[in-house]
Amino acid sequence: MKRGSGKQTTASKPTRPQVVGTPSFTSAEAQQCAFDLKQAGVRFTPLPNQDHGGGCSSIDSVKLLDIGTPVTNLGAMTCPLAKSFAAWAQFAVKPAARQYFGQEVVKIETYGTYSCRNIYGGRSGRLSQHASSNAIDVSGFVLADGRRIMLDGGWNGDKTSQDFLRALHKSACRRFGTVLSPDYNAAHYNHFHMDMSGNGYCR
């Protein structure tokens, strides 16, 4: 009996929400987004919907495998975010690198996507868009000759780096709902924050 009750106690423990995912991409809108990604030549893996607890989730998200340029630290991204980011990399980052440096971009460096936290990582306040896999923080770019054009240093650095990064910021503002640059506040001194919330909030 003790063994049986022991098993029952184990079974009755609160289930960890992140263990079991539910099917994703069931809505017509989500399926259209996945189709658009495939049409754009983007390789990705659909991820199961996850409720991570604490208001954090990954719904209709993907893991990007290949967007034509290597990208560091990519985790779960909502499909619309992945779609906008892949297009930005292809149609903004690559041409801008050729225009300003005469170089190809061989890597985009980021601080990641999903993170269950409040805005600015604070103990209180509202949840960040990162908490719903709906944001990405881009920190810099590696050129074919090995140069690294980083937001930290480059945003207020030499004129070419400044022009390059501001061109990318301007382009991002046309593709994402919210874009925050080092000009926004001290918390963004070293990256672009880009998410799909808001309606063209660009700082």
CA atoms within 13 A on the CB side of 80: 13
* pLDDT of amino acid 20: 56
pLDDT score recorded for residue 17: 44
**Could you give the 3-state DSSP secondary structure of residue 191?**
coil
pLDDT of residue 8: 41
Nearest Cα residue to 136 out of 182, 106, 178, 107: 178
Those residues of the chain that have pLDDT short of 50 are 1-19
pLDDT at 2: 40
